[in-house]
Structure 1
Amino acid sequence: MIKEAFGVRALLSTDATSGVRALLSTDATSGVRALLSTDATSGVRALLSTDATSGVRALLSTDATSGVRALLSTDATSGVRALLSTDATSGVRALLSTDATSGVRALLSTDATSGVRALLSTDATSGVRALLSTDATSGVRALLSTDATSGVRALLSTDATSGVRALLSTDATSGVRALLSTDATSGVRALLSTDATSGVRALLSTDATSGSTAFN
């Protein structure tokens, strides 16, 4: 069945076997084409639209069983692809974007229960992977980065309550691990390093108030 009104053309089809119903419409003014399909068995509804001006394509699907909604968009100019999904049960929202030029992939997820937000990015050129998470309850923020070339892994965390900042790095070549912490209240800075080969551990602390330095 084809109907035309106000420059919009619409095609509605129903498959008797599968129960799938599809609606295809074209807007003559904007050039937007939209395809809406409903699967009678799974209850999945999918909407695919294409904007002729910007070249952006968007796919929105809803799963009736799990309540998961997913939105996938592609920008023809920048090559950026973004996937946004929402899980109705857990309340977790995830956004995955890929930049075609730089090769950077970023994943941002939010857990509605714990309030934890996590951002994972991967740079295709340098191979550096970075994970930034924020816990809404404790206020702790943690940044974990991995450099594919040197093999160095670094973890930086900040506690909103105590103000303590800690930096833990691991060198894959030498096996040396170093922990640097700063206490915002006392101003004490401590550096603890461990050499995997010799087993030597060294602790260096500096007191900002007295200016004294201790080495053990």
Structure 2
Amino acid sequence: MKLFITGIGTEVGKTVCSAILTKFFNADYWKPVQSGDLHFSDRMKIKDWVGENVVCHSETYCFELAASPHQSAFEENVLIDLNTFKLPQTQNNLIIEGAGGLMVPLNDKDFMIDLIEQLNIPVALVVRNYLGCINHTLLSILALNQKKIKLQYLILNGNFPYDTERIICKNIPFETKIIRIPDIENITMENIENVVKKLKEIK
């Protein structure tokens, strides 16, 4: 099983959801592009939250500047080339975490959605409640449909008003499964483990 974790925007909780799914599926973890926070990268967070034994594959690109990958790369005089991304070799399940949303640019012509299309793996779309989240969710689903990328999971991260959740869930593909993840006030290995146990109960 390989799964690409993307979001309807930035700061919607992709890394926390990636940690939960990495633990849930006993998977390896890979972040193709890391922009900024190199002192505590998403790969380091996964180790912190899932455990030292989790296999985290090295990023293809790492940049100092916390910005869109194309901008971070430009600052370091690097051009991100889609052909340099290779899936890590593993016999295990693999969780891949993108940067930002689907239309985050990697260079002047390629976007995060193009990387997903090239890797040819299904998506888990992380949604968080805020004013505009319905619009961003449905636009993301339209973009995935246009590229014929399978939306395997819709992840509702945190609490949602009933009518917001209803409209979003009404407009996902029939085969898409919904995962509900509660708000985690304090992100620790123990709290991640507790959420995973509840997911297993639901399953």
| Pairwise TM-score range, normalised by the shorter structure | under 0.3
Which of the pair has more CA radius of gyration? 1
Give TM-score scaled by structure 1 length: 0.23
Of Structure 1 and Structure 2, the greater strand share is in: 1
Structure with larger RCO (C-alpha < 8 A, sep 6+): 2
